[in-house]
Chain A
Amino acid sequence: MNIDAVDRQIIQATQAGLPLVAQPYQAVAEELGLPVEDVMQRLARMQRDGIIRRIAAVPNHYKLGYRYNGMTVWDVADRYVDSLGPQVAELPFVSHCYQRPRHLPDWPYNLFAMVHGKTEQDAERQVAAIAELLGERARSHEVLYSTKILKKTGLRIGG
């Protein structure tokens, strides 16, 4: 664990979001009884160390018009997956790309790539581009579209 007790307090105070006030880090510092310089330095350090991926807004993709959010899943021979995964990941419309374990017999897929389209045609074109890249090295695939966001809160650590 690369965080101490004070980092942990800062994480707990900010994991649901930053306060929407002109001086948000000052507000966090006051809430925790810490100097604001300390809060800012610790956040900057956590960002440098990759504990914070970034401080940013997370949009609801549906509300931006991305209605076709497809998790494409592919059954790729294990010997190819580490060379093909990075190639799929390089496609400009792929937002996440992972190798994951199969659950045979009903889940043969080991390569996952998320695509996002504003229309069904957009999404289908994206899937077709991945299919073309993988060619015969993908034995089968499916596309699972999200139909509803049931929860989207991000990481939470307990008190």
Chain B
Amino acid sequence: MDPSDKAIVNRLQQGFPICDSPFRYVAEELGIAESELLARLQTMLAEGVLSRFGPMYHAEQMGGALTLAALKVPDDRFDEVAEIVNAFPEVAHNYARNHVLNMWFVLATEKPEQVSAVIGRIEDATGLAVYNMPKISEYYVGLQLEA
């Protein structure tokens, strides 16, 4: 990443305006052309430097629910189970972690009561017990990573 990409990543983590020409507005702030901002953003999304760009919706504020869940997946089934879990549209993120509980995913559902149904379907589809760890208290969600 060159300094211009870094400046774009740092700026765009903070938020994006709602106006007629928001890219022009941000490009002017950054001192680059609007077309360059769009092109660099496109490249960074295509290369996976950015996983997404747009509104981040808050499941609970829309009346839905979020939970963190984990699985103990036998090593020789890891890829197969990842494929099964990822195929659920309710799975928003999924990470491999270096622990006996080696697969950790976030479920987002439109209605709170759907969480247990989706967990049941994941248990049926994988044959594994899901450790459900919904939040009891949220102390902080934030921090932007400096590029």
**Is A101 in contact with B136, judged by CB distance below 8 angstroms?**
yes
**Binary contact readout B23-62 vs A (1 if CB under 8 angstroms, 0 otherwise):** 1100000000010001001100101111111111111011
Task: Name A's interface SS.
Answer: mixed
Asked, given contacts A24-B23, A51-B61, A150-B94, whether A17 binds B54 with beta carbons under 8 Å apart, the answer is yes
Chain B residue numbers with a CB within 8 Å of A151 are 85-86, 91-94, 105
**Is B131 in contact with A58, judged by CB distance below 8 angstroms?**
no
**Binary contact readout A34-77 vs B (1 if CB under 8 angstroms, 0 otherwise):** 00100010011011011111111111110110100001000000
CA distance A58 to B56 in the complex (A): 9
Tell me if A103 is interfacial: C-beta within 8 Å of chain B.
Answer: yes
Chain A residue numbers with a CB within 8 Å of B12 are 56-57
The B-contacting residues of A in range 62-112, CB under 8 angstroms, are 63-64, 66, 71, 81-82, 85-86, 88-90, 92-101, 103, 106-107, 110, 112
How large, as a class, is the contact surface on chain B? 35 or more
CA distance A17 to B139 in the complex (A): 28
Q: A85: nearest residue on chain B (CB-CB)?
A: B139
Tell me if B115 is interfacial: C-beta within 8 Å of chain A.
Answer: no
**Is B135 in contact with A43, judged by CB distance below 8 angstroms?**
no
Chain B residue numbers with a CB within 8 Å of A49 are 61
CA distance A90 to B13 in the complex (A): 20
**Binary contact readout A1-31 vs B (1 if CB under 8 angstroms, 0 otherwise):** 1110000000100111110111111100000
Q: Which of A55, A60, A61, A156 contacts B55 (CB 8 A)?
A: A55
With most chain A CB atoms within 10 A of its CB, the pick from B45, B47, B64, B145 is B145
Asked, given contacts A50-B58, A116-B145, whether A55 binds B131 with beta carbons under 8 Å apart, the answer is no
Chain B residue numbers with a CB within 8 Å of A52 are 55-58
Asked, given contacts A17-B53, A53-B58, A100-B135, whether A148 binds B93 with beta carbons under 8 Å apart, the answer is no
**Is A40 in contact with B18, judged by CB distance below 8 angstroms?**
yes
Q: A145: nearest residue on chain B (CB-CB)?
A: B98
CA distance A25 to B59 in the complex (A): 22
**Is A60 in contact with B18, judged by CB distance below 8 angstroms?**
no
**Is A59 in contact with B58, judged by CB distance below 8 angstroms?**
no
**Is B18 in contact with A94, judged by CB distance below 8 angstroms?**
no
Task: Report the minimum CB–CB distance from B129 to chain A (whole Å).
Answer: 10
Chain A residue numbers with a CB within 8 Å of B20 are 23, 25-26, 36
| Chain B residues packing against A (C-beta within 8 Å) | 1, 8-9, 12-16, 18-24, 34, 38, 41-42, 45, 47-59, 61-64, 68, 82, 85-86, 89-101, 103-105, 108, 110, 131-143, 145-147
What are 5 A-to-B residue pairs whose CB atoms are below 8 Å?
A55-B15, A56-B15, A58-B56, A59-B9, A94-B140
Given contacts A25-B22, A149-B95, 13 further A-B contacts (CB under 8 A): A18-B16, A43-B18, A51-B57, A54-B16, A55-B15, A56-B53, A59-B50, A60-B48, A64-B9, A94-B143, A98-B136, A144-B101, A156-B89
